[in-house]
Amino acid sequence: MTEPQNSPVENPSRATAEGQAATEAAQSEQPVADVAALQAQIEQLQQQLADAKDQTLRAAAEAQNVRRRAEKDVENAHKYALEKFAAALLPVADNLERTLDVADRSNEAVKPLLEGVELTHKTLLDALKKFQIEQIDPLGAPFDPQFHEAVSMVDNPAAEPNSVLHVMQKGFTLSGRLLRAAIVMVAKGAAKKIDETA
């Protein structure tokens, strides 16, 4: 009798079942690993997306700030471009005003000349006003250190304390910004009497 040969596969159905079980086990472990890897990749992509959105928002905000600054610079350049030119014209206005202040109005020969100077002075002030250059004449107004420069204080019981009594040189503003302060004399407050009986 011949002995049965030992074949490597004793039971083909059993080997197939074991192979399928091993394959299924490997396949069931692979999806778990794939899901974990995909979730990590999704989290990484979400973080990159959030970073990209943040950078985009910051870049847009910076661009908007640069645009606003440029617009403001252009606006100020237009608004205050006349500053040096206007400052050069102010002595002309002052001299015309001084001429009118000291002129002898009773002299008939000088009256036509004075009318011409008055008209020239008014025309100059109107032209300055057209370009937002306004004259400051604070006579009788309260002293304002932002627009007035006090050169002296004078006792005057009839005047309000700290009010402008005399304007030595009128001031000017350019678009609301001080171009030259008015030079003024200011009233002192009434001197307080000391009660010696107390």
pLDDT recorded at residue 20: 66
Please, which pLDDT band fits residue 30 given cuts at 50, 70 and 90?
low
Nearest to 149, CA basis, from 176, 169, 173: 169
pLDDT at 5 over 60: no
Q: What is the mean pLDDT of residues 42-51?
A: 93
Domains in the chain: boundaries: 16-80, 82-188
Q: What is the value of pTM for the model shown?
A: 0.60
Strands of 82-147 (E only): list them. 133-136
Task: Name residue 44's beta-bridge partners.
Answer: none
CATH 3.40.1180.10 assigned to 82-188: no
Rg (CA), the chain: 46
pLDDT at 73 over 70: yes
Q: What is the mean pLDDT of residues 58-72?
A: 93
Q: What are all long-range contacts of 46-53, with beta carbons under 8 Å and residues at least 24 apart?
A: none
